[in-house]
Structures are given as structure tokens and as C-alpha cells.
Amino acid sequence: MAEEQDKDSKTEAPSEKKISDATEKGNVPFSREVTAFASTLAIYIFVVFFLSDGAANMAEALKDIFEQPEAWRLDTATDAVALISHVVLKCAALVLPVFVLLILFGVGSSIFQNLPRPVLDRIQPKWNRVSPAAGFKRIYGVQGLVEFGKSLFKIIVVSIVVVLVLWNDYFATLDMMFSEPVTIFATMISDLKQIIIVVLFATATLAIVDLFWTRHHWYTELRMTRQEVKDELKQSQGDPIVKSRLRSMQRDRARNRMISSVPRATLIIANPTHYAVALRYVREESDAPVVVAMGKDLVALKIREIAEKNGIPVFEDPPLARSMFAQVSVDSVIPPVFYKAVAELIHRVYAAQPQQRRVT
């Protein structure tokens, strides 16, 4: 019940990180039916291109043994080994192509689905692989029912195909028992080709359906709950609360550094209580006034308070203060659009020296 609720709560699509982690651990979508189709195709190629010649060579070798037994003496162990070696080599020549084809097509079907990669986690012993409870869930779960349905489909298809082929060739099969061995063998290969062709189409259909199903099921199993998404976001980008505190600390430090620069200002342009912009102009330092501090509300009041303590002139010009606050930044020169207005204020500051006063 808890497991069903957990699956119901997985409403979010898996993240790229979760998909990457699953792939690194060897958890990738894999369809066994694609491999079964590849194996069936390999067997069909063997039957069409290799079986006839291989069986003919094998029959010829056996014919020589049975028709000329005097050519194979069995007086010593060496003679027996030679005879057995000869038969084994002929059998190996017959079955070697099918083994090679099965290996090539099996490896090819695996590479077609996923590129091979070494994953040590897959070979480590795990309790759920030998647990009866976990095995029961695998057998009678959704995946187990799907595998049972695929197996049942293959059994039904193969049975129907075999029955139809043999039924159509019923009388030919009876007559075949009284025919020459070569004719019997040719008829058997012909029937085998028909069976394999139909099975090949059936497994191809099943492989296509199973390929999409396994990928869909794999993607569904990787779905995440909202809490998992939040936890992963915290791990990848950091805890939002901690990041917020860090940003707050950084703002406080920047504000303190800015406030500490106010005593160096030449003048303050302010909206009575809402905005304040502190400018510094020294001809030897820069060609235009530099913004050393700016702020609004409480920060603006703090700038004005420090300016008054240090005897820095404060000019109340609400339109100019609002415009500069919106367009300038700390530690940068003012835009040319403000040159004329600020120049007039600086002229008034220099004219009032050495008796600086607050101008309103």
C-alpha cells in the first residue's frame, strides 16, 4: 500500500541528473525481445546460407565412416582419438557459423539499445536479488505480468505456425518417410524456413512493442516526487535559505562599504527622505563626478546623516535625485545627461568653500 502511494506521488518528470545517475549505475532500458529477434534472425541466416552446405559436408564425412569402416582402425587409443577428433571437427564446422552469428547479432542488439559501459554496481551482491519477497513482487508485479504475456504470445504464435505448416504438409510428411535421405533433409529445411520466417515476423512485432514499453516503463520508474525535485535542487544549487542568507550578508557588506565611502563625497543629491546619491568630484582623479554611494529610504537617511556629520553639502532636488538613482550605479561616473545639472551644484560647492554648508 505504501509502495502504491509512493508511486502515485511521483508526478514529476525525472531530471537530467537522475537519468544520468541511473545510466551510470547501469539502470538503462533494455528489451529482451530485441535480442530474441536478433537471435531468430541469426538462426534464419544460418539456415538459409550455411545449413545445407554444412549438413552435406557432415553427411559426407559420416558416409565415409560407415561405408568404409576398415579405413578407421580402432586398435589403439590413438586410433579412437583420431576418429573422435575427425567427427568433432566436422560437427564444429557445422555449428560454428550459428555460434558466430548468435554472438554477433546478440552483441549488436545490445549496442543498438545502449552503448556498453563497465558498471561494477551491477555485479555487487544485493539482498533484494535473493529475497523471496522481492522475487514474488517481480514475478507478480506489472513487469512480471508483461513478461508472462510476451512469453505466452510467443508460445501461441510458434504453436500455431508449427501446426499450420505440418498440417499443410501432412501427406508430404508421410511420403517423406519413404523418400531418400537427401529429399527428407531438403523438405525439413524448407519447413524450417517457413516456421522461422513467421516466427521472425512475430518476434519483430513483439520487439518493436517491447522496445517502446521498456523505455516507457523505465522512464516511469525514474519519475520523482516534488520533494525529491526540491532536494535535488538543493544539492545542485545549494539550499535556498542558505543562499538567501549569503546574498543578504553580501548586500550588508556592500552597503557597509558604500556607507563608509560617504565621508569622501563632495556633495549629496537627495529627495528629502526617499533617495540620496553621494557624488565625489576631484579634478585630479576623474574627468566626471563618480557615484560613491546611493540608496533610498533608511539608507538614504543614513547617507544624509553621515553627510551632515562630515559637513558635506546636501542638495534637495527630487527630480534629479530620482533620475540619477534610476540610471547610475555605485563606483561609476555619472552619464553625460547629468553633467550640466551636477556641474552647477559642484560650482556652488566650490563657491561656498571653505565655508561648506547645507543648501536646501
Residues 83 and 163 in one domain: yes
Q: State which amino acid sits at residue 96.
A: L
Average pLDDT across the chain, whole number = 78
For the ranges 58-72, 93-107, 226-240, the maximum mean pLDDT occurs at 93-107
Confirm whether 359 is domain-assigned.
no
Q: What whole-number percentage of the chain has pLDDT above 70? A: 79
- The residue with greater pLDDT, 247 or 126, is 247
Does the pLDDT at position 15 exceed 60?
yes
- Cell 514475478 identifies what position? 139
Confirm whether 157 is domain-assigned.
yes
Confirm whether 97 is domain-assigned.
yes
326 burial type by CB count under 10 A (0-12 exposed, 13-18 middle, 19+ buried): exposed
- At residue 176 the predicted structure's pLDDT band, cuts being 50, 70 and 90, is low
Can you give the pLDDT at residue 119? 61
What is this structure's pTM? 0.54
- The residue with greater pLDDT, 353 or 40, is 40
Range of the domain at 45: 2-234
Can you give the pLDDT at residue 99? 92
- The residue with greater pLDDT, 299 or 7, is 299
Residues 210 and 117 in one domain: yes
Which residue pairs from 354-359 have beta carbons closer than 8 angstroms and sit at least 24 positions apart in sequence?
356/311, 356/312, 356/313, 357/313, 358/308, 358/313, 358/314, 359/313, 359/314, 359/315
Can you give the pLDDT at residue 358? 40
Can you give the pLDDT at residue 45? 92
Q: What are phi and psi of 333, to 5 degrees?
A: -75, 155
**What average pLDDT score do residues 71-98 get?**
84
**What average pLDDT score do residues 240-254 get?**
72
Residues 71 and 189 in one domain: yes
- The residue with greater pLDDT, 360 or 129, is 129
Residues 21 and 116 in one domain: yes
**What average pLDDT score do residues 238-259 get?**
73
Can you give the pLDDT at residue 71? 75
Confirm whether 358 is domain-assigned.
no
Please state at what angle helix 32-46 crosses helix 181-221, rounded to 10 degrees.
160
- At residue 103 the predicted structure's pLDDT band, cuts being 50, 70 and 90, is very high
Residues 122 and 256 in one domain: no
Which of 180, 201, 234 is at the close of a domain? 234
Half-sphere exposure of 235 (CA within 13 A, CB side): 9
Verify cis geometry, omega within 30 degrees of 0, for the bond prior to 354: yes
Which of 204, 234, 264 is at the close of a domain? 234
Confirm whether 19 is domain-assigned.
yes
Does the pLDDT at position 32 exceed 70?
yes
**What average pLDDT score do residues 4-20 get?**
73
- At residue 100 the predicted structure's pLDDT band, cuts being 50, 70 and 90, is very high
Domain count, the chain: 2
